Amino acid sequence: MAVQATASSNTPWWDLGGRFSDRLAAETGGKLRLTLEFRGRYESRAGVAFGNEHDRSAALFRTRLGLFWQPVSWLKASAMMQDSRAPLYGENAPSNVRDQADLHEAHFELAPNPARGSGLAAGRAMLTYGEGRLLGTPQWGNLARTYDHARLFYRLPRARLELLFVSPVKIRPQEFNRPVLGDHVWGTYMSFPNLFSKSLVDVYVLRHSQNRPGGFAGGSKAAGTDRLEISTFGFRAAGPLAHAMKYSMEGAVQGGKVGAATHRGAAWYSAVSRRFAVARKTVDLSADYKFASGTRDPSDARRVGTFDHLYGAFHDVFGHQDLFGWRNIHNVRGLGTVGLWKNVALNVMYNSYWLASARDALYNISGKPFASSRAGAAGRHVGQEADLFATCRFGHLQVGAGYGRFFKGAFIRHTTPGISPAYVYLFHTYSF
């Protein structure tokens, strides 16, 4: 939970919460800081699940109250309460939109030398590694994934080496949230800033384990095939290019077992971006390509090729409507952001999608299959999406609105009711 204290003189007179937080930080020498977030979003979705579910409108409210404490330079601790509600859903609102007041974060970090040497961190926290495609915390949903974790790390001037164990916390609306440790990832994540030409390079080896209590639904306990065990070997690199351009790329390969089946998967991401000045306005343009493998022959129970995207955070990664995950897919995305004024930005996004394997399923943002053509006769083109959204910030207050529309391809027409999803929303967030 990163927090920055600002001087009270920079906080507007009407921002009483921000002024109190600034005063508390100033009076304690930055050792104690209060954080608050209140967010409301009003949204309408048509063509939900491409017509398989009813259209819906919702008001989503999320409140977070946190405290950050650093009594000495080598010890940090923080805690956060989160309350999420969806009043228009009624009593049967699903657990992915509501969770009344619960412990969202409570963790500490010991690092005697913040620049060099060993340290450890443990507890419950929102975590993001790299750009969050395999381990991340999606913030757009009314709930945000959090992890119970333990991490050991060693810092060098140009490297950070880390051993980690993370287990996502399961939402339990009627009781205290807790993880199911049978669903977890452990391994190593190594970061090398400025390794070459001012580029950052990450290298990681992650082992995803999931048993029946953790959510795995296949195999036989008697045969010892009632679990998932997948190892991911990958890297990420990001940095500058010539002509003021920037790049980012990530690649991963996987091997292991899914029940009794042998698992082999792969994924790739690459992007380029550049900032321009046009008529005294800033314009950021980016383009990226993403791939994740699918299973070539789902009827062959001995082999699985669908990439396991672990606990990725995918808001805006595959479009603003968050329809798809990083499994069995090819995706091309373009994004343009125009800074209309100092605190106002307008975004235009375009996406196009194809299946990697025509016989494997199409997967949603949670990694669950929702449409398939086992014979492959429905084709591979899923469709296209166009999105327009804007944000405006006034100090600690941010407001925004957006609209997205999906245009169905052959695969959607043949495997679903064929209704193209549309999404419109307004939101406001006050945070410090």
- pLDDT tens string 38-80: 999 999 999 999 999 989 899 999 999 999 999 999 999 999 9
What range does the domain containing 230 cover? 8-431
Over range 179-201, report the average pLDDT. 93
| Per-residue pLDDT, 169 | 96
| Per-residue pLDDT, 91 | 67
In-domain check, residue 79 = yes
Q: How many domains does the chain have?
A: 1
In-domain check, residue 252 = yes
Share of the chain above pLDDT 90, in %: 79
| Per-residue pLDDT, 303 | 95
Task: Answer yes or no: is pLDDT of 1 > 50.
Answer: no
Judged by average pLDDT, the poorest of 86-100, 236-250, 269-283 is: 86-100
| Per-residue pLDDT, 17 | 76
| Per-residue pLDDT, 55 | 92
Do residues 231 and 258 touch, judged by C-beta distance below 8 A?
no
In-domain check, residue 63 = yes
Task: Answer yes or no: is pLDDT of 93 > 90.
Answer: no
Which tokens belong to 257?
């077992």
Over range 182-210, report the average pLDDT. 94
In-domain check, residue 68 = yes
In-domain check, residue 398 = yes
Q: What is the mean pLDDT of the chain?
A: 92
Residue 269: give its domain's CATH number. Answer: 2.40.160.100
- Residues of 389-423 as b/e, b for ≥16 C-beta within 10 angstroms? bbbeeeebbbebebebbbebbebbbebbeebbbbb
SS3 annotation, the chain:
CCCCCCCHHHCCCCCHHHHHHHHHHHHCCCCEEEEEEEEEEEEEEECHHHHCCCCEEEEEEEEEEEEEEEEECCEEEEEEEEEEECHHHCCCCCCCCCEEEEEEEEEEEECCCCCCEEEEEEEEECCCCCCCCCECCCCCCCCCCCEEEEEEEEEECCEEEEEEEEEEEECCCCCCCEECCCEEEEEEEEEEEEEECCEEEEEEEEEEEEECCCCCCCCCCCCCCCEEEEEEEEEEEEEECCCCEEEEEEEEEEEEEECCEEEEEEEEEEEEEEEEEECCEEEEEEEEEEEECCCCCCCCCCEECCCCCCECCCCEECECCCCCCCCCEEEEEEEEEEEEECCEEEEEEEEEEECCCCCCCEECCCCCEEECCCCCCCCCEEEEEEEEEEEEEECCEEEEEEEEEEEECHHHHHHCCCCCCEEEEEEEEEEC
In-domain check, residue 283 = yes
| Per-residue pLDDT, 223 | 81
Q: What Å distances lie between residue 71 and 26, 29, 78, CA to CA? A: 14, 10, 11
In-domain check, residue 2 = no
Q: What is the pTM of this model?
A: 0.91
Over range 205-221, report the average pLDDT. 91
Confidence class of residue 2 from pLDDT cuts 50, 70 and 90?
A: very low
In-domain check, residue 3 = no
